[in-house]
Amino acid sequence: MEDQSSTSAPSIDPFKLLKIVQNPDGSLTRQSLFPSVSITDEESTSSNTSQLAFFKDIPLNPQNKTFIRLYRPPTPPPSTNHKLPLLIHFHGGGFILFSATSRPFHDACSLKAVKLPAVVLSLEYRLAPEHRLPAAYDDAVETIMWVRDQAMDVNGCDPWLKEYVDFSKCFLIGSSAGGNMVFHAALRALDIDTSPVKIIGLIMNQPYFSGVERTESEKRFVNDRILPLPANDLMWSLALPEGADRDHEFCNPMAADGFLKEKMGRLTRCLVTGHGGDPLIDKQRELVKVLEPRGVDVVAEFAEGGCHGIEIFDPLKAEALLKSIKDFVDTCCRCVNSESAAAKSTL
Annotated catalytic residue 89: no
The pLDDT of residue 75: 85
Each residue's pLDDT tens digit, 304-314: 999 999 999 99
Which domains are delineated in the chain? Answer: 51-76+83-345 (3.40.50.1820)
Above 50 in pLDDT, residue 160? Answer: yes
- The answer to whether the beta carbons of residues 174 and 91 sit under 8 Å apart is yes
Of 166, 224, 278, 282, the active-site residue reads 278
The dihedral over CA atoms of 119, 122, 123, 129, expressed in degrees to the nearest 10, equals 160
How large is the average pLDDT for residues 79-87? Answer: 85
- The answer to whether the beta carbons of residues 271 and 299 sit under 8 Å apart is yes
Of 168, 176, 210, 217, the active-site residue reads 176
* DSSP-assigned letters across all residues of 265-314: TT---EEEEEETTSTTHHHHHHHHHHHGGGT--EEEEEESS--TTHHHH-
Annotated catalytic residue 176: yes
State the average pLDDT for the chain.
92
Above 90 in pLDDT, residue 167? Answer: yes
**How many angstroms separate the most distant Cα atoms in the chain?**
67
Cα–Cα distance measured from residue 151 to residue 155, given in angstroms and rounded to the nearest whole number: 11
Above 70 in pLDDT, residue 80? Answer: no
Above 60 in pLDDT, residue 1? Answer: no
Helix residue spans in the chain (DSSP H): 14-18, 103-115, 135-151, 159-164, 177-189, 216-220, 229-239, 258-264, 281-291, 310-313, 315-345
Looking only at the bridges linking them, the beta strands covering 119-124 and 84-90 are parallel
Cα–Cα distance measured from residue 94 to residue 242, given in angstroms and rounded to the nearest whole number: 16
Phi-psi region of 19 (alpha: psi -120 to 50; beta: other; left: phi over 0): left
Name the pLDDT band for 343 (thresholds 50, 70, 90). Answer: low
Of 106, 131, 275, 308, the active-site residue reads 308
Above 80 in pLDDT, residue 76? Answer: no
**Could you count the other beta carbons within 10 Å of the beta carbon of residue 202?**
26
**Could you count the other beta carbons within 10 Å of the beta carbon of residue 155?**
7
Integer CA distances (angstroms), 19 to 23, 31, 45, 90, 210, in order: 13, 5, 31, 22, 22
Name the pLDDT band for 30 (thresholds 50, 70, 90). Answer: very high
- The answer to whether the beta carbons of residues 110 and 56 sit under 8 Å apart is no
Cα–Cα distance measured from residue 319 to residue 256, given in angstroms and rounded to the nearest whole number: 35
Contacts of 219 (CB under 8 A, 6+ apart): 7
How large is the average pLDDT for residues 66-77? Answer: 92
Phi first, then psi: give them for residue 131, nearest 5 degrees. Answer: -135, 90
Output DSSP code: residue 101: T
Cα–Cα distance measured from residue 50 to residue 109, given in angstroms and rounded to the nearest whole number: 9
- The answer to whether the beta carbons of residues 115 and 320 sit under 8 Å apart is no
Helix residue spans in 40-134 (DSSP H): 103-115
Each residue's pLDDT tens digit, 199-212: 999 999 999 999 99
Each residue's pLDDT tens digit, 225-249: 999 999 999 999 999 999 999 999 9
Question: What length is written for the chain?
Answer: 347
How large is the average pLDDT for residues 132-149? Answer: 98
Residue 328 or residue 42, greater confidence = 328
The pLDDT of residue 158: 96
Annotated catalytic residue 166: no
The pLDDT of residue 270: 98
